[in-house]
Amino acid sequence: MAAIEFDILQYMSGLTGFTFDKAVLTRIALERGVDQVTAYAQLTKRQRDLITADLLLTAYLSPTVWASFDQAHGSFKKGVGSQTMYNKEEIYNYLYNIYSQYEDEKLEELPDNSAHVFFRNDI
């Protein structure tokens, strides 16, 4: 069996069960500074975990049902999805734990998932 060729976008696409746009993977690769990585060994566990969290954050902030995507040329067709997310809370907890573990700056950007009670005096 031939050696597996490493491609960072391909690798990132396998970190979660979601099928993302290439543009999403590219953005996260650039933001995490791994776009030039050419081998698995060049990635640290921290980078792998945070990329996973970034992907899950994108999924978390996406609509619950993702539209399907189809391409066709002549009689050749291929499609992806649609994809449905059934439990956003579990995803939120998972990515929250990763950001917390590494005290990543994204932690501050996370939407607060806890229930709010506003008092009239606060408004």
14 binds other proteins (CB under 8 A): yes
**How many chain residues touch other proteins (CB under 8 A)?**
15
Of 14-22, 31-39, 56-64, 107-115, the segment contacting other proteins by CB under 8 A is 14-22
* Residue 81 and residue 67 in contact, taking contact as beta carbons nearer than 8 Å: yes
19 binds other proteins (CB under 8 A): yes
> Which residues 20-49 are close enough to bind other proteins by CB under 8 A?
20-23, 25
> Which residues 70-109 are close enough to bind other proteins by CB under 8 A?
71, 73-74, 80
* 59, containing H or E segment: helix 45-60
In our burial notation (b when 16+ CB lie closer than 10 A, e otherwise), range 46-83 reads: eebbbbbbbbbbbbbeeeeebeeeeeeeeeeeeeeeeb
63 binds other proteins (CB under 8 A): no
